[in-house]
Amino acid sequence: MRSLQKATHQQTRLINQQLVLRTLYDQTAVSRAEVARLTGLTRTTVSDVVDGLLEAGLVEEMGPGQSTGGKAPILLRVPDDARHLVGIEVGDSSLAGAIVNLRGEVRRRVEVPLDGRDGEMALARLDGLIAELMEPAGPPILGIGVGTPGLIDTTTGTVQWAVNLDWRDLPLGERLRERWGLPVHVANDSHAAALGEHTFGGHAPGESMVVVKVGRGIGAGIVIGGQLYTGEGSGAGEIGHSAIADNYRPCRCGSVGCLETLASTRAVVQRARELAPHAPESALHESAKSDLIDLDELVRAFTAGDDLAREVVQDASRHLGRAIGSLIGTLSIHHVLLVGEMTRFGEPWLTAVRREAHRSALAILADATTVEIGRLGDDLVVLGAAALLMTRELGLALSR
Ligand SMILES: [Zn+2]
Distance 291 CA to ligand 1 centre (A): 24
Query: What angle, rounded to 10 degrees, do the helices at 307-331 and 295-303 form?
Result: 100
- The CA angle 50-54-58, to the nearest 5 degrees, is 100
Integer Cα distance of 49 and 36 in angstroms = 11
Residue 288 C-alpha to ligand 1 middle, in angstroms? Answer: 26
CA–centroid distance, 172 to ligand 1, in Å, is 23
| CA–centroid distance, residue 3 to ligand 1 (Å) | 50
For 250-262, give one letter per residue: b (16+ CB within 10 A) or e: ebebeeebbbbbb
Q: What is the pLDDT of residues 122-173, one digit of tens each?
A: 899 999 999 999 988 889 999 999 999 888 988 889 998 887 778 889 999 9
Centroid of ligand 1 to alpha carbon of 367 (angstroms): 31
- CA 190 – ligand 1 centroid, Å: 16
Does residue 400 carry a pLDDT above 60? no
How far is Cα 235 from Cα 229, in angstroms, rounded to an integer?
A: 10
Question: Terminal CA-to-CA distance of the chain, rounded, Å?
Answer: 42
Distance 198 CA to ligand 1 centre (A): 27
Percent of the chain beyond pLDDT 70? 98
Q: What SS3 class is residue 77?
A: strand
Q: What is the mean pLDDT of the chain?
A: 90
**Per-residue pLDDT reduced to its tens digit, 74-108:** 999 999 999 999 999 998 789 999 999 999 999 99
What pLDDT, on a 0 to 100 scale, did the predictor assign at position 300?
95
Per-residue pLDDT of 284-343, as tens digits, reads 888 877 678 999 999 999 999 999 999 999 999 999 999 999 999 999 999 999 999 999
How far is residue 291 from each of residues 306, 351, 378, measured CA to CA in Å?
18, 30, 28
What is the rounded CA–CA span in Å between residue 211 and residue 192? 10
CA of 233 from ligand 1 middle (Å) equals 18
pLDDT tens for residues 160-217? 888 777 888 999 999 999 999 999 999 999 999 999 999 888 888 788 999 999 998 9
Spacing, Cα 254 to ligand 1 middle (Å): 6
pTM score of the predicted model: 0.89
Encode pLDDT of 339-382 as tens digits. Answer: 999 999 999 999 999 999 999 988 899 999 999 999 888 899 99
The amino acid present at 69, given as its one-letter code, is G
Ligand 1 center to residue 240 CA distance, Å? 6
